[in-house]
Amino acid sequence: MPKYLASTTLTETTWNAEVRPGDAVEAGLLDELHVSLSPFVAGSGESLLTGLGATAMDLQNVTDLGNGAVVLTYALIR
């Protein structure tokens, strides 16, 4: 299965993926979003989804990694 990475900064990857310049949501390339969430708060920093407009998503799955961390899987609602 081909893998694509939409990026505004990267031009190549170190894994088997093709880089597509731009925004995956705006280009209609995003089907699913996997977010790994760890119980750690730094107190400041850049937002994960800065610049992303309102995007409807449906929570599909939660994987508990057993150490307080979870992986959340969302599907884009079209």
Taking residues 9-29, report their average pLDDT.
Answer: 81
Secondary structure of the chain in the HEC alphabet? CCCEEEECCCCCCCCCCEEEECCCCCCCCCCEEEEEECCCCCCCCCCCCCCCCCCCEEEEEEEECCCCCEEEEEEECC
Over the stretch 47-58, which tens digit does the pLDDT of each residue have?
Answer: 666 666 777 889
Domain definitions of the chain by residue range: 1-30, 31-78
Residue 72 confidence class, pLDDT cut points 50, 70, 90? very high
Please tell me the pTM assigned to this model.
Answer: 0.61
Query: Which residue's entry shows tokens 């081909």?
Result: 2
Q: What is the pLDDT of residue 9?
A: 85
First to last CA, the chain: 22
Q: Quick one: tokens of 71?
A: 């992986």
